[in-house]
Structure 1
C-alpha cells in the first residue's frame, strides 16, 4: 500500500554492457558482513570500506581535462574540470560509493556540465592517496569542510549528490552543515545502514555491533529543500526496497523518486540518459512552496 503513493519515473534503456562502477559492492562483501558483526568496529571498517590509495598523476588528470581541487599536493580534497568554466546552474559536490576513488567518477562531469553545473568530485580520507581514517565520523567531518570551502569559493547555489554509501555521507553533511544546500540527489541509496544489515542478517544484533549509523532517514527529516531519489530496479547489492523506504520517510512535498529500469547497483550509468539527468536536476533546483 505504501508504494502506491510513490511518484516515480522509470527508464528502460537495456544496454548489455559490463558494470561501470568499481565492483567492490558484491555478494561476497555481503557475506563477509557476518564477520563485521562478530568482530566490531575494526572488522566493520575493513569490510565496509575499500579505499584505493592511488592518487591520479598529472598525466591522468590531463587526459580527462581534470584538476586537483582546491590545489594539488597532499592537501587536495577532490577534482574539478581544468580551467573551471562558469557554471550558471551552480555547483554539485559529489560523494562517491565505498570503492574506487573520486577520480573514477569523472563520468558524472559531462552530463552535468551540459546542464550548466560545475561538478566537484569530493575525495574521502584514506582514498586517492589522502591522509586520514575511514568511517562515518571522519568522512562527514571531511565532507563538511569540503562543502564549506566549495561554498566559500563558488557561492550559491550549491547541491549535494550521493552515490551508494556516499548518499549516507551527503545526508549527514546536509544535516550538520551551516552552508545553504539548495538540493540533494541520492543515487542507489539506503535508508539506514542498520536496516540494510538487519535485512541481510536478521538473526544478528546489528545495532549493537555497527559503529557507523548512516541514518539518512533521520538526517534528512528536516531538510528544507527538494530531494531526488534514484533507485536501480535490479539493485543486487542494496535492494531497492531501501531506496523506497527512504523516499517514503522523507518530508512530504519536497521529494521525487525515479526508478531506472533494468539497472543494477554498479551498471546504472549505462541506463541513464540526458533526460534523466535533466529531470533530476530541474527538480532539485526548484524551491519548495
Structure 2
C-alpha cells in the first residue's frame, strides 16, 4: 500500500512539476525605455534598451517569469549606459506559449544570436535564479565576455529532491536544469552574488557552484550578501557597485 501510494505521488509530481518550476506572473513589461522585439523563427520575445557602452548585457530573469519583477537588475545596466536585452519567457508577462527547459534554452541561444548580429561589441550574460541556468548554458555555447549569476544553483533537480522527497535527478520526465553539466565548456570570468539568508536556493548551492567552477579553471568572484534573501538580493546596498566593479575589471 505504501509503495503504491509513493509511486502514485511520484507520477503526479512528474506531471505537475512544471507548474512548480514555472509559476510565471501575468504582469506585462511596459518600461518606456525598452522596445519590444520578436526575433528568429522561434518567435522569441525580447525587451531592448539601447546604451552607449561597448558592452551589451543579455539578461535572464528568475521564475517570476515577467520582466516587470526584475527592474532592479535591468536598471543597474541601464544606469551604466549598457545596452541591455531581457528575454521574456513564454507563459509569463503576457507572452504566449508554454515554458520548458528545452524551449527556454533554445530561445536563449536564439536571443544571443540576434543580439550578436545587432551589436558590434562584446556581450555578457546575467542571470537570476532560474535564469542562471540559461546564462550558463549560453556562455557554454557562445562567446561571452563575462557571466553574472544571482542566487544560482548547481542542479535544479537537487532542489526538487529536497522539496519533494523524490529522486528527481534520476526520474524520467523531470526537467533537470543541470547547470554543472555546462561548466566544462565555460571560459569567461564569473561573478556570483548570493544572499546569506536565501531559503529558496540556499547559499551553499552558490558556494558549491563557485567551487566546481574554480576547480574547472575559471576565475570566480563570489559575494555572500548578509541579510539578503532570495527575492530582495538585487535591492541590497552594493549590488550595483559589485556588478560595475566586476565588469570594469575585465
TM-score of the pair, normalised by structure 1 = 0.74
Q: CA deviation at 1:75?
A: 4.9
2:22 maps to 49
- Runs of 5+ consecutive residues of structure 2 not aligned to the other structure: 1-7
CA distance in 1, matches of 2:91, 2:181: 27
Deviations 1:112-168 (CA, angstroms, capped at 9, x unpaired)? 233342111111122222233211000001111011001110133001101001001
In structure 1, C-alpha distance between the alignment counterparts of 2:28 and 2:75, rounded to whole Å: 22
Pair 1:164–1:36, CA change in 2 (3 A): farther
- Distance change >3 Å, CA 205–CA 257, structure 1 → 2: same
Distance 2:115 2:79 in 1: 20
Q: Which residue of 1 aligns with 2:203?
A: 240
* Higher deviation after alignment, 90-99 or 210-219: 210-219
With 162-171 and 126-135 compared, the bigger mean Cα shift is at 126-135
TM alignment of 1:52-131, pairs within 5 A: 52-56=25-29, 60-62=30-32, 65-69=33-37, 75=43, 77-81=45-49, 84-88=50-54, 90-131=55-96
Quick check: 1:215 aligned with 2:178?
yes
Cα distance in 1 between the residues matched to 2:47 and 2:91 = 16
Q: How big is the shift at 1:70?
A: 5.3
- State which of 158, 168, 172 in structure 2 corresponds to 1:195: 158
Aligned residues of 1:36 and 1:43 also touching (Cα < 8 A): no
Which one scores higher on RCO, CA 8 angstroms, separation ≥ 6?
1
Runs of 4+ in 1 over 4 A off after TM superposition: 35-38
Contact residue 124 and residue 144 of structure 2 kept, 8 A: yes
Aligned: 1:162 with 2:162: no
Report Cα offsets for 1:85-107 as digits up to 9, x if no partner: 3223x111110001140233222
Where does the alignment leave 5 or more consecutive residues of structure 1 unmatched? 1-34
- Aligned counterpart for 1:135 among listed residues 88, 100, 111: 100
CA distance in structure 2 between the partners assigned to 1:161 and 1:104 by the alignment: 15
* CA distance 1:115–1:46, change in 2 (3 Å): same
Taking only aligned residues, the RMSD between alpha carbons, in angstroms, comes to 2.4
112-121 vs 261-270, greater mean Cα deviation: 112-121
SS in 1 for 2:86: strand
> 1:262 and 1:230, CA in 2 relative to 1: closer, same or farther beyond 3 A?
same
**TM-score, length-normalised on structure 2?**
0.85
C-alpha distance in structure 2 between counterparts of 1:164 and 1:135, whole Å: 15
